[in-house]
Amino acid sequence: MIQETLNKIREEALKRINESKNSESLNEVRVAVLGKKGSLTAVLKGMKDVAAEERPKVGAMVNEVRSEIESLMENARVKLETLAMNARLENEKIDVTLPAKGIKMGHRHPNQIALEEMERIFTGLGYEVVEGPEVERDYYNFEALNIPADHPAKDEQDTFYINGDILLRTQTSGTQVHEMEKGRLPIRMISPGRVFRSDTVDATHSPCFHQVEGLLIDEEVSFSDLKGTLAEFAKELFGEDTKVKFRPHHFPFTEPSAEMDVSCFKCGGKGCRFCKGEGWIEILGCGMVHPHVLEMSKIDPLKYKGFAFGVGLERIALLKYEIDDMRLLYENDERFLEQF
Ligand code: DAH
């Protein structure tokens, strides 16, 4: 009678173990057969009704079935785990011989390319690259550059004032003063950076743009050093055949002052749409540092001379890459930037 029950339990258990597809269903079998309320446990609980002399025999039979089921269950568990592991490995398989996915690289902004080019040229000529503050005192932006409070040049540049004395610099020229004040001579520096003017945005204006300032101070410096240096710069930047022309101009902090034009690198100077028929393109302002500017920064104008120049970085980028609208430089449209 018990033998029969045990056989049924055994068969049922074997069938369910074989049908188990995962460890959960295997566990259900364990609970149903060996658990507290399991079928085999029920047989053990019924032992009290078995005659005392029969008990060892029945007990041995139950234990035999129990250990058989346990070992089959263990085998099934190992088999299922191996299957699951293999399926996972298959799923995670990597073909290391496949070509790698291309990484999408960013692009250098035309301003950045133009700046790096200028830095390369001037560091090659022995210049140092220094940076000055964007938030500046009136003194550095105007006064120390020979632009006193009532000077008309102060109205020419629409300045963003933070208060009566502090402003957003309208030009990088203030860096000249900071460098001169350090009292380390001679000086050969260029200083790139952002400048601010309250202009309305259009194809050639922006309230925030970039300049690169240049300053050289030494004992024997003449206007021909300025011309030679800037002519060399123009050739490196726009090509060996580039010619330069200096037109007299006025800046309060230089005397004499000039604007420099380069021969149009599109038409070679014959005149075209690019140079508006002129054959020449204006690219920077420059001059010999005004003695008064030297004096204010505690440099003896009888001993030292210097030249300075200021270049609009956007202007160089627009010219070099033939971009006809400055706004393109600030919109950062990928379709535009991708071309550089
Ligand atoms: N700071 C001038 C401007 O914003 C540019 C300039 C002209 C800078 C002549 C100079 C210079 O250093 O010598 O228009």
Tokens of residue 72, six digits: 């089959």
Task: Kindly give, in sequence order, each residue whose CB lies less than 8 Å from that of residue 209, ignoring residues fewer than 6 positions away.
Answer: 194, 195, 197, 312, 313, 314, 326
Across the range 268-289, mean pLDDT stands at: 93
Query: What mean pLDDT do residues 194-215 have?
Result: 95
Compute, in angstroms, the gap from residue 201 CA to the centroid of ligand 1: 21
Per-residue model confidence (pLDDT) at position 287: 98
Ligand 1 binding pocket includes 285 (Cβ within 6 Å): yes
pLDDT for position 142:
95
Q: Which two tokens stand for residue 201?
A: 């945005």
Atom of ligand 1 nearest to the CA of 289: 13
Assign 3-class secondary structure to 86-144: HHHHHHCCCCCCCCCCCCCCCCCCHHHHHHHHHHHHHHHCCCEECCCCCEEEHHHHCHH
Q: The pTM is what?
A: 0.72
User: Above 60 in pLDDT, residue 76?
Assistant: yes
Q: What's the pLDDT score for residue 242?
A: 95
pLDDT reported for residue 24: 87
CA distance 284 to 312: 7
DSSP state letter for 327: T
Mean pLDDT of 75-95: 91
Query: In angstroms, what is the span from residue 28 Cα to ligand 1's centroid?
Result: 86
pLDDT recorded at residue 58: 83
Q: Which atom of ligand 1 is nearest to the CA of 307?
A: 13
Mutate to test the pocket of ligand 1, among 142, 217, 251 (most ligand atoms within 8 A of CB): 251
Would you state the pLDDT for residue 156?
56
Range with the poorest average pLDDT among 71-85, 162-176, 305-319: 71-85
Percent of the chain clearing pLDDT 90 (strictly above): 62
Minimal-distance CA residue to ligand 1 atom 3: 171
Return the ligand 1 atom nearest residue 287 CA.
13
Least confident of 41-50, 146-155, 169-178: 146-155
- Residue nearest to ligand 1 atom 7, measured at CA: 285
pLDDT at 328 over 90: yes
Task: Return the residue whose CA atom lies nearest to atom 8 of ligand 1.
Answer: 310
* Ligand 1 contact, 310 CB (< 6 A): yes
pLDDT(153) > 70: no
Alpha carbons 84 and 282: distance in angstroms, whole number: 74
Please tell me the predicted confidence (pLDDT) of residue 130: 98
The mean pLDDT value for 195-212 works out to 94
Contact between residue 176 and residue 148 where contact means Cβ atoms under 8 Å apart:
no
Model confidence at 238, in pLDDT bands (50, 70, 90)? very high
In the numeric block, which tokens belong to residue 178? Answer: 């900071």
Cis link prior to 192 (omega < 30° from 0)? no
Q: What DSSP letter does each residue of 195-241 carry, written as one string?
A: EE-----SSS--SEEEEEEEEEEESS--HHHHHHHHHHHHHHHH-TT
Model pLDDT, residue 155: 62
β-pairing, 280-289 vs 254-263, is: antiparallel
Q: What's the whole-number mean pLDDT along residues 159-166?
A: 90
Distance CA 39, CA 172 (A): 92
What element of type H or E holds 288?
strand 280-289
Q: What is the mean pLDDT of residues 69-85?
A: 90
Which residues, in sequence order, are bridge partners of residue 311? 212, 284
What are residue 96's phi and psi, to 5 degrees?
Answer: -70, -10
> Is any atom of ligand 1 closer than 6 Å to the C-beta of 312?
no
Q: What's the pLDDT at 136? A: 97
pLDDT of residue 323: 92
Q: Does domain 110-337 sit in CATH 3.30.930.10?
A: yes
pLDDT band at 157 (very low <50, low <70, confident <90, very high): low
In the reported structure, the alpha carbon of residue 75 is separated from the centroid of ligand 1 by a whole-number distance in angstroms of 87
Domain extents for the chain? 2-91, 110-337
Dist. CA 316–CA 122, nearest whole Å:
15
- Residue 10: is its pLDDT beyond 70? yes
pLDDT at position 256 over 90: yes
How far is Cα 214 from Cα 286, in angstroms, rounded to an integer? 9
Mean pLDDT of the chain: 92
Quote the pLDDT of residue 34: 87
User: What is the full DSSP assignment across 2-14?
Assistant: HHHHHHHHHHHHH
